[in-house]
Each structure stands twice: as C-alpha cells, then as structure tokens.
Amino acid sequence: MNSSSTVKIAHLLYLFYYVFMIEPASKNKTTSAQEGMAGSSRLHRKLKSGMVASHRTIDMLFDDSPIQEMSRRHGLKTFFMEGYMDSAQYEWIEKLFAVESISKVVQTGFNAGHSAFAFANLGSDTVTSFDINHHPYVRPAHEYLIKRFPATNFSLILGDSLETVPAHKDEVLYDIAFIDGGHSQSVAYSDLFTMRRLVKDKSYVIMDDYGDSFPWQVGPTLAYDQAISDGLIKPMCVEHTKKSSWALGQYDD
C-alpha cells in the first residue's frame, strides 16, 4: 500500500468517526466561557435574534470555491481536507458583521480559505491570515481569493504562528481576530495572546472549536478558558451546532 492510499484511508476513517461516532455535547453542559459570559448583552441578544435572515449556505457561495477548484484541478475531495467553516458558522458571522462595524480581519489558520472567503464576501476590505502551510491547496486557494475578491486586500503569512505572529509588523489595526490555527493548548493560547497587539482596543476575538463535543476541541477550549482566567479576554457568547462550535470574546484591556 502506497503512502497516498494510506492517507486516503486515514481520512475516510476520520470522516466516519466525525460523522457517526461522536455525539454532540449535551445542552446542559457548560464551559467556563458560558458560565462567565454576559448573556444579556446587546450583542448577544442580536446574534440570538436571527435579525439577519440568510438562506444561503457557504457551499452555495463556494460554487467556484477553492474546494471546487482544487477538486477539478487536482482530484481532491472535500472530506480529504482539514476542517473548515460550515454554513451555520458562516450565517452566524454574517449576523455579527451586520450588527458591528467589521472591515479588517486577522486570523490564524487559513487552510482552504473558507473563513477568508466568508470575511471578504461579507465586505471586509482587509483579511490577513497566518497558516503553517501543511497542505498543497493553501497557496492556490489564496491566489483564487485574490482573483475572486479584487477589492479585498488579502495577505497570507506562512509558517509556525508561534514565530510568525509575534514577529509580524503591521500598520493596520484589525477589528476582529479569528483563532483557528494549531489546536494544542499552548499554540492556541499563544495565538490568542500574540494576536492582541494586532487588533484595536476591546476588539472581538472568535475562538473556533471551543467546546466539549469533539477531541480536537480540548486544546482550544483550555487555552480560551485560560485567557479568560488571565484577564486577557471577556467572554461574550458560545455557539454550537451538531458538528462545530466556537466562542466570541472581547479583548479586555
């Protein structure tokens, strides 16, 4: 069995485990962010209200997306790719962008470009991404987005975020940070901490994969809870669907 077959089998086993074997977390379970968040806040109420009615899915928006393009060019399949933003999270971010003035986004974890696509599609004029570049579709996906959204200033910084984010110098101060890079506690915490200097005072931060439903959420959840305990972040709300979850916080000066 060659290495390519081994990788495909591993991805199929992962897909089976992801879809069939893992039950979503109980609605009765709470995390540190849920216990500490201001559930009655204006923003939280608006995000819960469904004030933006969107019937589009990110798959529909991605008809000519990096995933479709990579599939056509290289024979890749969606489920062979690492995790990416789903439709539920896209629609929630659409609500957030509708109630807050967000035009400049910085993120760790570019992967196939779903989140960068979402931010640009919702009107962001600047999207800066840090990615470790472990996959062959990262660069082509970024090139695709530059052509797809010529009005958006995309930047992609490749390498380990433990080194690239602290070393990054930027004249731009961002409106929000989206953390979806390395999933170990140490890397996730470092991303939360070092991103702070790249955003405006009291900017929002989204910690992707926050929760207790899936094994890959352990590191990000511990890191985010630690950031709350350290006074780095004020928790705002936690959202979860059957297959994804995330937390919204605010950098607390």
d(CA 195, CA 110): 15
Encode pLDDT of 35-46 as tens digits.
Answer: 555 443 566 665
The lowest-confidence range among 36-40, 95-99, 121-125, 244-248 is 36-40
Q: What is the mean pLDDT of residues 188-213?
A: 96
The lowest-confidence range among 55-59, 135-139, 168-172, 193-197 is 55-59
Confidence grade of residue 27 (pLDDT, cut at 50, 70, 90): very low
Confidence grade of residue 33 (pLDDT, cut at 50, 70, 90): low
Give the pLDDT score at 206: 97
Per the structure, the count of domains in the chain is: 1
Give the pLDDT score at 239: 93
Encode pLDDT of 230-239 as tens digits.
Answer: 999 999 999 9
* Residues belonging to the chain: 253
User: For residues 63 and 27, which has the higher predicted lDDT (pLDDT)?
Assistant: 63
Confidence grade of residue 190 (pLDDT, cut at 50, 70, 90): very high
The CATH number of the domain holding residue 69 is 3.40.50.150
d(CA 239, CA 224): 14
User: For residues 136 and 103, which has the higher predicted lDDT (pLDDT)?
Assistant: 103
d(CA 31, CA 193): 20
Give the pLDDT score at 17: 41
d(CA 238, CA 240): 7
d(CA 85, CA 170): 26
Q: How many CB atoms lie within 10 A of CB 71?
A: 16
Residue 119 CA: distances (Å) to CA of 91, 175, 211: 11, 12, 23
User: For residues 58 and 106, which has the higher predicted lDDT (pLDDT)?
Assistant: 106
The lowest-confidence range among 10-19, 69-78, 94-103 is 10-19
Give the pLDDT score at 85: 77
Confidence grade of residue 7 (pLDDT, cut at 50, 70, 90): very low
The beta strands (E) that lie in 42-125 are given as: 104-108
Q: What is the mean pLDDT of residues 143-155?
A: 94
Give the pLDDT score at 49: 54
Give the pLDDT score at 160: 97
d(CA 133, CA 222): 24
Give the pLDDT score at 34: 57
62: pLDDT strictly greater than 60: no
Confidence grade of residue 64 (pLDDT, cut at 50, 70, 90): low
Phi and psi, residue 18, nearest 5° = -65, -45
Structural domain of residue 127, as residue ranges?
A: 3-251
Strand partners, 157: 130
Encode pLDDT of 109-132 as tens digits.
Answer: 998 888 999 999 999 999 999 999
